[in-house]
Amino acid sequence: MIYTNPRRMTIPNLDLLTLLFEYEGSRAKDDDPLFAEAKYPSQTITKARVRDLTRQFAYFLRHQYGIGSDGPGRDVVVSISTGQSALACVLYAVLAAEGIYSAASPSSTVSDLTRQIKDGPGKVVVSSEDVKGVALSAAREAGLPVRNVLVLKSHPQIQLKSADGEIECDFRGSLDWRRISDPEELENSKACIVYSSGTTGLPKGVLVSHQNMVSECYLPSTLGREAWERIGRDFPRSTLGHLPAAHIAGLQSYFVNAVYDGAVTYWMPSFNFDDFVRYFAELKPTFFFSVPPIFMAIAKHPAVKDQFKSVEYATSAAAPMSYELQQAASKKLKGIVYQVWGLSETTGAVTYTPPDRTDTMGSLSPLLPNVSLRLVDENDNDVEEGQSGEALLKGPMVTKGYHNNPDANNAAFTTDGWFRTGDVLKMEGDVFYLVDRKKELIKYKGLQVAPAELEGILTAHPSVADAAVIGTKREDTEVPIAYVALASGAKGSVSEAELVDYVRSKVADYKRLRGGVIFIEAIPRSPTGKILRKDLRALHSRQRGSKI
């Protein structure tokens, strides 16, 4: 069975820059602020300035480094930066110069970044000042000269110059972007390479097209605007940039969707919960997108009172969130925390709940228009209605494939073009529920145990700040074991055995924590909130002296 949203929408055949800067649906006016440092919120970059910087940086990249001089989609520019207000202009400039923007995590090691530069291969690296050392070392390992490492500064003055100080953008030249309206070119364009989180193996470079980003912006934005109109309420759009801009969630949310909706993004250089809470109190952002560990802190941290009451609407993704956590976090906001579902390979979320709908709590929301989904068994046969299965997808935001990785492409797509998400879902009504990652399911005596379900139960306990469940071998089967981080002040208030009994009281017998509970200071997670289970398996192997 193929599941779809009954509504079909006509997506503009436009390149990303034209959508953001010229399309009539883009809400920001030329003098509207789009970006600022959270620490200096009054010093904003307006839409007109962003457009000028785009053209000026593009001219600099073309004439000093030859980006795009041999045609579109050939030259890769690698960006590694903490959050800063002019960072989006680097993406726009690379697209205007007809290069490919390759986003690298600011937490990358030298070897991580070297691998990514070589995979491009990157012709230029743009870094922030605080990760310049990593950028220089990786560039050297990859064979790039120092002049090809550029350092971007956004405050107090915007500056882009080579790490050796020899070459600097003087903002005198201007290169306009080529408008693209051909649907086939938009679909097959190579605009960005976004690397998967690599929680179970080496990161893969996901190719992102203009069509991917435009559809991922236009569809949810249109639904949201219609809903706010039905509600009869409008409000100034503002958000806090706290997620890594190298991940699809940050890149799409802050560089694309927020700009299209005319919102100002206040940038934090990196995430710190105390600063995060303080900035919400001071700046009063009206919406934000985040990940479950941050919503868990909002729900449970004793310092959180009414600092988030300016938030009309919030969205969570990147990892599963239980009904209980979604409800608890929503109580700290003015509006509701909605949960959506997607991957780097889908340019973000393929589901969405409009703000005038309140009956999707605990679910992943309904499908976006123009998206098709199947739920299949191990043999790619559609499962019976109401049964769980691996989700396969088609849609305008789904990637065409991976960069330089034909083996990954063969594994990720069926012969008739469906993308294998690796997530096991089930449908109830018009909304979807996450069972778990297919490869994370624990097989206990032939029965499947979903770690996400047990983690949701554990984190609903008032003494638990975070939890992760993995499988461990026992005799001839696999049993779940939980690693638990206790909430602040909860140490000594609950024992491992009590948590085992707590879970047992809420699940079927085959799902109970037969492997027990182990207390840990913090659950290892990626910058986007995904549990690093391979790290937990390695830890458990060391602790138990057994191979998982």
Domain positions in the chain are: 2-8+209-437, 46-178, 448-546
How many residues in total does the chain contain? 548
- What is the C-alpha separation between 526 and 523, in angstroms, rounded? 10
pLDDT at 436 (0 to 100) = 77
Class of the domain covering 448-546: alpha beta
Q: Which residue has the tokens 């560089």?
A: 255
Farthest CA pair distance, the chain: 71
Whether 245 and 271 have beta carbons less than 8 Å apart is answered as no
Q: Nearest-CA neighbor of 284 among 1, 41, 28?
A: 41
335-380, pLDDT tens digit by residue? 999 999 999 999 999 999 999 999 999 999 999 999 999 999 989 9
Residue 544: per-residue pLDDT: 74
pTM over 0.85: yes
End-to-end CA distance of the chain: 36
Task: Read off the pLDDT of residues 112-160 as tens digits, 9 standing for 90 and up.
Answer: 999 999 999 999 999 999 999 999 999 999 999 999 999 999 999 999 9
CATH number of 46-178: 3.40.50.980
What number of other Cβ atoms are within 10 A of residue 497's Cβ?
10
What the block records as the tokens of 124 is 């230029």
Rounded Cα–Cα distance for residues 96 and 294 (Å): 35
| pLDDT the model gives residue 548 | 45
Q: Is 2-8+209-437 in CATH node 3.40.50.11540?
A: no
Q: Which of 525, 499, 529 is nearest to 512 (CA)?
A: 499
Q: Kindly list the distances between the CA atom of residue 124 and the CA atoms of 39, 143, 161, 394, in Å, as whole numbers in the listed order.
A: 29, 11, 12, 34
Alpha-carbon gap, residue 532 to 39, rounded angstroms:
31
The pLDDT tens digits for 395-442 are 999 999 999 999 999 999 999 999 999 999 999 999 999 887 778 888
Strand runs labelled E in 214-258: 238-241
User: Which residue shows structure tokens 């700009």?
Assistant: 259
Number of H helices, E strands in the chain: 16, 26
- Which residue stretches of 460-492 are H helix? none
Whole-angstrom Cα distance, residue 247 to residue 267? 15
* Three-state secondary-structure class, residue 505: coil
Give 108's contacts (C-beta < 8 A, 6+ positions apart). Answer: 80, 116, 131, 134, 138
Distance of CA 43 to the CA centre of its chain: 27
Given a cut of 70, the residues of the chain with pLDDT beneath it are: 197-201, 545-548
Least Cα distance to 284 among 250, 255, 316, 309 occurs for: 309
Same fold, 46-178 and 448-546: no
Residue 198: predicted pLDDT:
58
Question: CA 328: distance to chain centroid?
Answer: 22
